[in-house]
Chains A and B, each alone.
Chain A
Amino acid sequence: MNRVVNVLRMQLVNRWIFIGIPLIIIAASFGLSWVIWALVPFDEVKASGGSQAVLWYFFALGIQSLTLTFPFSQGLSITRKTFFGGTVALFSLIALAISLLFFLLGLLEKATGGWGVNGQFFALEWLVDGPWYQPLAFYLATMMALFFIGFWAATIYKRWQTTGLVVAGLGVAVGLVGAALWINFQGQWPQIGEFLVSQNQMSIAGLLAVVALVLAGGSYLTLRRAIP
């Protein structure tokens, strides 16, 4: 357990990467959006998708933690299991922290009339249209799913190199096309449409959480035999 915590601390040895840069990305994407809002001569609500910028940064970090931090952890004689535990704990904590930050800034956004310029950045209408915890759950699930997509893809690359990635990519594509064909064959498109329409923000967050969990399991099993 102690070593799991140390894996977390090891990655935070350079705070800049996990704390400094994300804050800068959030501040910069927000600042730029605000300037544009202020310039636009339009009094209705102005929404910006800038809050997702930092999510993509974590997608890249997920990849890097495997291609570089994993080999380093092996050099420090850390077991794969411990590395996985510590890394997932780290990303979960950060995802939680950013979700909370977005949630609080969202409250502030609404209280200040969209930062004085009727802007929408953190409290996007679609996200806050529901129970109070909805944006929190949505941000968290999205970040974890993105992180694990990057992490698992990098693990597959580490274990089977390019061949592995190509096979996995093709597999996913073939699976999707196959599913589409099957739905077509069964004449199920209306039901699928109904299902999609019936989804709300919370159920999408739930689905993303399930996806993240499945990806986490796959990542772990792949990492068990990965070489640095």
Chain B
Amino acid sequence: MKTVIEVRNLSKSYRNSVALDSVILSLEPDRIYGLLGRNGAGKTTLMSMLTAQGFPNSGEVKVFGEDPYENEQVLSRICFIRESQKYPDSFSAKHAFRSAALFFKNWDQELAGRLVEDFQLPVKRTIKKLSRGQLSAVGVIIGLASRAELTFFDEPYLGLDAVARQLFYDRLVEDYGRYPRTIVLSSHLIDEVANLLEHVIVIDKGRIIMDDDAESIRGSAFTVVGSADKVGTFLQGREIIHTDNFASLASVTAVGTLSRAEKTEAAELGLELAPVSLQQLVVRKTISAAGADLGASKTSSLEVTR
């Protein structure tokens, strides 16, 4: 299958920190990707490199099969409004939309107008006077109405109220249904966007620690709730990733899937089975990656002392 983005061994370091560490990625067309990770994990840096707004130290980026740097053919099919996007001083949202319409050939003015009403955005006020949420709305509207083949949303929900966030998610799914394209949604609010995502990429300290289908990630673990003894016996021999105890009750998350027989057994034992949320899995994966990191640095420091 043709890929939209191919990344090979991409690395980028700033003076005191590593922002990206040998990243390898491949994104397919017409899917919604979640780029998840903590603040400072390297999400924005990665997107900057993919859109040739920033420069890697080493590695290779191919978008639509070509190097995006100064490549009109490639860039004209991409939209990336960063979270801290700057606008000309005197510009109002209306000016920004009019500018965007000049450059995105699929720009839909009608959609932009509808979104303006959804977000109740004052289009005539200069952008520098807008609130954080309204500023995010400007970026979201450009991102959606551009209908670019490859659209990046960089933490688009910052400052948006709950209603506006829901509207954004709804409009995104709606428009994506009508005009499929590749969407990369960077976020650290995982639960909120979990239902939208078809594929999940988790980045931590510049490394990709998870890159899989949202469905298979959700199916990769399960939670059992019940009396602590019974849960313990039931999960004998399985890899446990998390345990919560309340009095004699336990809620334990284990890796893997359950066969039908095992499910029946659980029901007979009076145990409740629950799916694991994407957020829980990502959080645990990130913590355990950090733990491994800690372990590794401990051994290396031991080696040094030796």
Contact = CB atoms under 8 A, between A and B. Distances in A.
Interface residues of A, number: 28
Q: Chain A interface mostly helix, strand, loop or mixed?
A: helix
A79 B72 contact: yes
A198 interface: no
A16 interface: yes
A6 interface: yes
Nearest to B150: A77
Nearest to B103: A76
Interface stretch (B77-85, B167-175, B230-238, B251-259): B77-85
Contact of B90 (A17, A79, A224): A17
Contacts of B51: 74, 77
A10 B87 CA distance: 12
B91 A79 contact: no
Contact of A77 (B76, B87, B95): B76
Interface stretch (A50-58, A64-72, A97-105, A175-183): A64-72
A81 B87 contact: no
A14 B142 CA distance: 18
A14 B88 contact: yes
A104 to B, nearest CB: 28
Contacts of B91: 13-14, 72
A13 B54 contact: no
Nearest to A21: B90
B80 A10 contact: no
B5 to A, nearest CB: 15
Interface in A59-117: 64, 67-69, 71-72, 74-82
A68 B95 CA distance: 14
Contacts of A3: 72, 76, 103
A74 B53 contact: yes
A35 to B, nearest CB: 29
B229 interface: no
A219 to B, nearest CB: 16
Interface string B201-243: 0000000000000000000000000000000000000000000
Contacts of B75: 77-79
B71 interface: yes
Interface string B38-52: 000000000010010
Contacts of B86: 67-68, 71-72, 228
A78 B48 contact: no
Given A74-B53, A75-B81, A75-B82, A14 B103 contact: no
18 contacts: A3-B72, A9-B102, A14-B91, A67-B86, A69-B88, A72-B91, A75-B80, A75-B85, A75-B142, A77-B76, A77-B77, A77-B78, A77-B79, A77-B103, A77-B148, A79-B71, A79-B72, A82-B72
Interface of A: 3, 6, 9-11, 13-14, 16-17, 64, 67-69, 71-72, 74-82, 224-225, 227-228
